[in-house]
Structure 1
Amino acid sequence: MGQAKCNAVIGGVTGMNDEALARFRELIAERLAALDNEDARGEAGQATVELDQQAVGRLSRMDALQNQAMAKASHARRQGERRRLNAALARIEEGEYGFCEDCGEDIAEGRLELDPAAGKCIQCAKG
């Protein structure tokens, strides 16, 4: 085990210092808040579509059903992202944030800046 890796393991996290970890916690919190805002805006789109022929024509109803399906799919995507972000917070608390889940090597900070929920280094993510 290299000196840098050894020091990282002894410290409980990757070579990141407390300042970097705080920055990633904040970035994750901001993204979770943004997901909450998107959920609040998307609730109306998931509402039950009225099927009254007198109130809405057939094409308008089909359009409303399609919009509802897209709103539900967007909600499911946000839920998945929320799970990934919460898992990243758990990895921070466990001292495992920034290590690849597959190979154990450090994940580049630039990758974590783009996707703070990333659990794999670029090589393992490529497959």
Structure 2
Amino acid sequence: MTPNTRRILTALLLSACATGAAAEEAIRPEQAVRFAGQSGMVCGKVEKTRYAQNSEGSPTFLHMGGAFPRHTFSARIPQDQRDKFRPSPEELEGRDVCVVGSIQRDAGRAEIAVRSPSDVKLATIK
């Protein structure tokens, strides 16, 4: 990806992922762990989704920053929010999204616990 293409993509992600009246600065999944303990907006491609039905709380994970299990970031969607997503979490696989929330560290990776579908924004090209 050329630097110019990267700038254009970043601008599109920022415009698509605005929260409130102003856009936050986008954090790449590979850099998210550096922001642990802070609120932020992590933007990137959903490499893989995983519905962990047999795990405590039956969460759904959106893995970004590499393929599972070598990903660098996950958005964790609780079971009670899963059916509220349009498109569904599985339909986000392969698409660019921005996730807003408190960035936490989990097993050396970064994670945001999604509270509602409004925390996940689909990046669209206008």
Give the TM-score of the pair, scaled to structure 2.
0.21
Which protein has the larger Cα radius of gyration, Structure 1 or Structure 2?
A: 1
Give the TM-score of the pair, scaled to structure 1.
0.21
The structure with more strand, counted as a fraction of residues: 2
The structure with more helix, counted as a fraction of residues: 1
